[in-house]
Structure 1
Amino acid sequence: MTEPLAPLNTWIIVVTYNHQKYLATLFGSLAHLTHPNYHVLVIDNRSTDGTREFLRSQPLPIKVIYQPENTGFCEANNLGMARAFAAGADVCVLLNPDTEVTPDFLAQLEISYQYQLRKGVNVGLLQPVILHQQRREWLNTAGNAIHYLGFGWCKDNGYPRPTGNQDREIISVSGACLYIPKPYYQRVGGFNPVFFAYSEDQDLSWRGLLRGYRHFCCGSAVIYHDYHFSKSTAKWYHVEKNRLMVVLQNYQRQTLLLVAPALFAVELLILVYSIVGGFFGEKLKGYGFLIRHRKRIQTVRRQIQRQRTVPDKVFLPQFSSELVFSEIRNPLITWLVNPILRAYFALARRLL
């Protein structure tokens, strides 16, 4: 009989920026965790809504780093992971402040991780099943989708909760709750801080695929997320510039050349949509960002391509060929854009 393994030293990292209204629910649920060896580290990005006062009065034993400015989701989580792993953490769990956890979610994630290791799987990132907090039988995400042109979204958002508790291999984890073991962090790294926010989970997952890692959703671990889709102009700026950085940095040169015509055509459509949607200025601002940071992007790209061990053709079939955002339904996308994207993806895969 296999001897039980000692509980891993796990640090839960929560980045806050004016999230005070969510924290009582989150910390109330964290107080009931069954895992015997966990720590909570909060990185506050200079909140002005009473978050700091709330944290100072919090009875749950937590460690807090108060930032002098809002450095963004990516850089703050990187700071938390660096501190945690330097202090002896085996695993970091990056957790959104607008979540509520179940008592055994952390223990179940660890069981899944150890189980995959014992099978000899090169396991990378994990996530729990994430359900809507207000509609608790509705799925938020059990693994995110990646489109071959760099779009990412919560796959099956709004669908009924999946049946069964088995683990499922996924292409990308959700940053709402991301389980990152120390070996993965040491080899792949943390978030790209230039992203600031959005698409960072997709990029981190993709970079792991290039190193031969496999990601999983633990079916027996559950949390709830107070999820609301936002169409703010600031979000479009980060989402669009980050999407293009993910593609430019992670694809092999041959793949990048193959998808370039489709990427260019979709960019034209997005420019038109940005005029109608009122974020044309943010889209242009994103292009300006890419131009200003082109040397950094080239440097990161060279590093990623130098370290990769797996060619694109191995995992590219797992990418989505259609745009199926549950939050954005448009007949033009359904009946015109998606058929063309499907056909082009099939052609690109044959040529790769």
Structure 2
Amino acid sequence: MAEPSVSAVVLAWKDEPWLTRCIEALLASTGVAIEVVIVDNGAEGGSVQTLEKFADHPLVTVVNPGSNLGFAGGCNFGARSATGDYLALVNGDLLVEPTTLRRLVDVVDGPGVGVAVASVRMPDDVQIVNAGANPVHVLGMSWAGGLGKPETRTGLVDTAAASGACLVTTRAHWQRLDGFDEEYFAYCEDSELSLRTWRLGLRCVYVPDAIATHRYEFSRNPFKNYLIERNRLMLVATLWSPRALVVLAPAGLAFEAVGLAVALLQGWGGAKVRGWTWLWRNRGHLRARRRQLRGEGTVPDREWMRLLRADVDAVFFPLPVGLGLLNAVMRGYWAAVRWMV
């Protein structure tokens, strides 16, 4: 039988020292007919040399949109050049193991599966998770599930969100969803894609034995904080049910007030306000996007929203005091109102 054809989309952004190794690892994949689509999304330094190195490779296509489209737009641009039956999104600082793509393809081919996501591991210890089964909070936050913990699971795990660092879906499913909403630019677009998949009656599945190594460097800056906070609110505003927006409004408003206070203390209050400003100025897009997403779902809101969590992990929200109490209050609140969504 012919091997399944997989198009792996990789973004070349700035000077990425792992980009050459990333592409070489993809080309060494076994059990699939691989095609690598590299998007010049603002390549600099060594990344430019990598693009030149692979420009004439028979299994590599290099495309250039002319500017940095962000993660969402860059993936969309690359996917339009893909020819495989399956589409993989792979970060340029990530190395797949030879069997990873085929393992993800096999899972996507399983009954009722729409997206399969790899087990992304730390570079200095491949047993430690960087991103896995990623949670999504009822207020829109998402984070790397299992970060810093050893992976002991062997079976498939349903996940609310599939990390865009390394996932596989069918090209038909990607086209059905029309890819990412490019207004996200970066962050939360993979959460939206995943939740839309669940709303269509298909699962997002984390595959612990489909391993990829990530050159992980945690960082925060005002622009990143701006995108994360803005996009979190865009996700909730466009995808949550009307009833959910009403019953979660008190918690959401309280969270915004606390978030602004934290942002001011940490020196990125302007970025927080900038996010609110963007959402107001682009309310037409939010309305249109909401109409589109509310019209496409086939699964009742009460069912898919069971995937959402009401508590947060301390590793991502390191409040000095009170996190346990806040989590307990939020769990109780969500348990009390969830039946109304």
Tell me whether the two structures share a fold, i.e. TM-score over 0.5: yes
In the TM superposition, what is the alpha-carbon distance from 1:258 to its structure 2 partner? 1.0
Partner of 1:80: 78
Determine the C-alpha separation between the residues in 2 that align with 1:285 and 1:136: 39
Length-normalised TM-score, structure 2: 0.95
CA RMSD of aligned residues (A): 1.6
The offset of 1:206, in angstroms, is: 1.1
Give runs of aligned pairs for residues 60-209 of structure 1, distance below 5 A: 61-84=59-82, 87=83, 89-114=84-109, 116=110, 121-164=111-154, 166-209=155-198
- Which position in structure 2 is the counterpart of 1:26? 22
SS at match of 2:207: strand
In the TM superposition, residue 100 of structure 1 has moved relative to its aligned partner by 0.9
Matched residue pairs, number? 339
Unaligned runs of 5+ in 2: none
The alpha carbon displacement at 1:23 in A equals 1.2
The residue type equivalent to 1:55 in the other structure is L
- CA contact under 8 A between 1:156 and 1:326: conserved in structure 2? no
- 2:295: which partner in 1? 306
Unaligned residue ranges in structure 1 (runs of 5+): none
The Cα shift of 1:333 comes to 4.8
Give the AA of the match of 1:41. Answer: V
Hey, what's the Cα distance between the residues in 2 that align with 1:67 and 1:293? 24
Deviations 1:313-343 (A, max 9, x none): 1022221110115243223352332122111
User: Which residue of 256, 274, 285 maps to 2:274?
Assistant: 285
Letter in 1 for 2:300: P
- Alignment TM-score, normalising by the size of structure 1: 0.92
Q: Is this contact kept in 1: 2:86–2:105, CA < 8 A? A: no
Equivalent position to 1:9, from 5, 15, 19: 5
The whole-number CA distance in structure 1 between the counterparts of 2:91 and 2:21 is 12
SS at structure 2 position matched to 1:136: coil
The 10-residue stretch of structure 1 (321-330 or 205-214) with the greater mean CA deviation from structure 2: 321-330
Q: What percent identity do the matched residue pairs reach?
A: 28
SS at 2:309 equivalent = coil
Match of 1:45 among 20, 41, 46: 41
The one-letter code of the counterpart of 1:255 is: A
Structure-1 separation of matches of 2:159 and 2:42: 34
Distance in 2 (CA, whole Å) between partners of 1:170 and 1:301 is 23
8 Å contact from structure 1 (residues 100, 133) kept in 2: no
SS at match of 1:328: coil
Counterpart-to-counterpart distance in 1, 2:316 and 2:85: 36
Work out the CA distance in 1 between the residues paired with 2:173 and 2:127.
32
Post-superposition offset of 1:180? 1.9
Q: Contact 1:129–1:223 (CA<8 Å) still a contact in 2?
A: yes
Q: Distance in 2 between matches of 1:268 and 1:337?
A: 15
Give SS of 1:20's match: coil
Q: Is the 8 A contact 1:13 1:77 kept in 2?
A: yes
Contact 1:19 1:97 survives alignment (8 Å): no
User: In 2, Cα distance between the equivalents of 1:197 and 1:301?
Assistant: 19
Are the equivalent residues in 2 in contact too, given 1:153–1:325 (CA < 8 A)?
A: no
Give the letter for the 1:131 counterpart. Answer: R
- The amino acid across from 1:22 in the alignment is W
State the AA in 2 paired with 1:90: D
Shift of 1:195: 0.5
Taking the aligned partners of 1:100 and 1:21, their CA distance within structure 2 comes to: 12
Q: Structure 1 residue 73: deviation in Å? A: 0.9
Partner of 1:57: 53
| Whole-angstrom CA distance in 1 between matches of 2:196 and 2:162 | 12
Please tell me whether the aligned partners of residues 115 and 168 of structure 2 are also in contact (alpha carbons under 8 angstroms): yes
Aligned partners of 2:337, 2:73: CA distance in 1, in Å? 35
Equivalent residues of 2:22, 2:96 under 8 A apart: yes
- Amino acid in the other structure paired with 2:235: V
Query: Structure 1 residues 169, 186: CA separation in 2 closer, same or farther (over 3 Å shift)?
Result: same
1:16-48 deviation line (CA, Å, top 9, x unaligned) = 211431113212322321134110000011223
Partner Cα separation in structure 1 for residue 28 and residue 314 of structure 2: 35
3-state SS of the aligned residue for 2:259? helix
Contact 1:127 / 1:178 at 8 angstroms: preserved in 2?
A: yes
